Amino acid sequence: MSKKILVIGGGFVGLTLSAKLLKATDTTLTVLETDTHRLSLLQGGNFYVNEPGLHSILLNANNQKKLNFTRVIQSSYYDAVFICIGTQPTTVSVDLPDSIFSLVDLVSRCLEVNGMVFLRSTVEIGTTEKFATSIQKTGRTDISTYFLPERTAEGVALQELDILPQIIGAASNSKIDLAIKFLYEVGFSMIECSNAKSAEFVKLISNAWRDTIFGISNEIALMAESIGVDASEIIHVANHKYPRANIPSAGPVGGPCLYKDSHILLNSFSQEFKQESIIYSARVMNEKIELNIYEILLQHLNSLGINSVVLFIGAAFKGSPKTNDVRNGLTSNLIHRIQKDRKLIKVQIWDPTIELSDLLDLASFRVNSLVGLLPEIVVIGNNSKEIFSKDVVNFLNKLPSKTLIIDPWCMYPKSEKHSAIIYQLGGGLVNSNEY
């Protein structure tokens, strides 16, 4: 039977899910997007999420009238609704349920009898059950509610949607078999949790675990700096042919998920538990890394005076797998700190791998070439090997001795001959004559 599906939210999660669902030949799909600018882009065929294969799938479906983008839902005939809206970290967590629960009436109106609603957004523990109860209070006791979290990596999302099992948990009034059958027919494999709360917990601890491991690496880096050894070397030697060590490289931890999921998880526990939590300590460590980098930047700028230039090389929050998402990346966060503190600093961004529109509110800082630039500070914004080419190395090699290069991912080879001061996370501040 033909399946009619509504996806609420036209961001990364909603668009990659839509592409996956549209691979099923009997699926027609509507994406509800309330942001007028984003909706205009989508309706014009600009899908702005840089995922291999996504553009062609959505464009073909749109041309075949199997995909529609809209701001208002008037029909009431959908078999399933997937909620893919963005959620917030702990600083505004008290408002988190509002964005989800504001959709209760819409979901109740637009679903067929015995329809299903899948929460794909990251939520606090217990949200799915509360959402199901709210649906029932509208009189729609026939609707089943499930938590089906997104957990793909940007840059390989469509690949992972084809191979990763989907975590699923049902609210207490919902039949899990109904969802399993539906999801199997649209091409998903599943791993079932005993209930929605368990599925919510699994989603949150998955990212919190990764965040914690990175926090340990970053603590190792700061320890190495304090005793004058090289963290990159330490981690490499510790991992070498030793199966019980798999320590990640140190570096800033950004992106739209890791920084907030630990906070969302800990919101379900007491303040006392949170303060003693290893997960919380690791999150604080990861935030400290970025703050330390900012303080190093400011110290150097203070020694030079006002109207200095800071050049950011690489704007996306990570370099591999490749993405065009700048949200909560080192570049984005440091520039926003500079703006908040009203520092008299000229900011430049060079990143040939992304479009101007990808930079969002940072687009005005874009420069198209490194030729002729002479910044007082250069910040390597991510670990993209595509960006950090030989041309970039040559550019850095020619910078004068007063220039500071901030290289948190240790991309700049220590063998290069240069005059500039360099900060590398886990190595500290070094000068060329100290190599």
Q: Please report how the helices 196-227 and 278-304 are oriented relative to each other, as an axis angle in degrees rounded to 10.
A: 50
Q: Where are the domains of the chain?
A: 3-193, 195-435
Residues 6+ apart with CB under 8 A from 377: 297, 300, 301, 308, 309, 310, 311, 403, 404, 405, 406
For 3-10, what is the mean pLDDT? 95
Query: Does residue 317 sit in helix, strand or coil?
Result: coil
What is the tens place of the pLDDT at every residue in 341-380?
Answer: 988 889 999 999 999 999 999 999 999 999 999 999 999 9
What distances in angstroms separate CA 195 from CA 87, 126, 206, 344, one per listed residue? 22, 10, 17, 53
**End-to-end alpha-carbon separation of the chain, Å?**
68
> What percent of the chain clears pLDDT 70, i.e. is strictly above it?
96
| Digit-coded pLDDT (tens) for 113-167 | 999 999 999 999 999 999 999 999 999 999 999 999 999 999 999 999 999 999 9
The SS3 of residue 360 is helix
- Mean pLDDT is highest, among 91-105, 270-284, 301-315, for 270-284
pLDDT higher than threshold 60 for residue 95: no
Same fold for the domain at 3-193 and the one at 195-435? yes
pLDDT (mean) for 313-335:
94
pLDDT confidence band for 97 (50 / 70 / 90): very low
In this predicted structure, what is the pLDDT of residue 1? Answer: 63
Distance (Å, rounded) from C-alpha 326 to C-alpha 344? Answer: 23
| Burial (CB count within 10 angstroms: exposed 0-12, middle 13-18, buried 19+), residue 205 | middle
Local confidence band at 169 (pLDDT 50, 70, 90 cut-offs) = very high
Instruction: Reply yes or no on whether the pLDDT at 181 is more than 90.
Output: yes
C-alpha–C-alpha distance, residues 282 and 280, integer Å = 5
Whole-prediction pTM? 0.91
Q: How confident is the model at residue 306 (pLDDT cuts 50, 70, 90)?
A: low
- Is 80 exceeded by the pLDDT of residue 29? yes
d(CA 205, CA 265): 7
Task: Examine the pLDDT at 331 and tell me if it is beyond 70.
Answer: yes
Tokens in use for 167? 């975590």
Q: ω before 321 within 30° of 0 (cis)?
A: yes
Backbone angles phi, psi at 119, to 5 degrees: -85, 115
Whether residue 307 is predicted with pLDDT greater than 90 in this model: the reply is: no
* CATH classification code of 195-435: 3.40.50.720
Residues 6+ apart with CB under 8 A from 435: 414, 415
Provide the pLDDT for residue 93. 40
Mean pLDDT of 243-250: 94
pLDDT at 89: 65
**90, pLDDT greater than 60:** no
- Tell me, what's the pLDDT at 188? 95
Distance between CA 221 and CA 293 in Å, rounded?
Answer: 13
Superfamily (CATH) of domain 3-193: NAD(P)-binding Rossmann-like Domain (3.40.50.720)
Tokens encoding 1: 């039977």
Residue 96's pLDDT is: 45
Residues 6+ apart with CB under 8 A from 172: 129, 132, 195
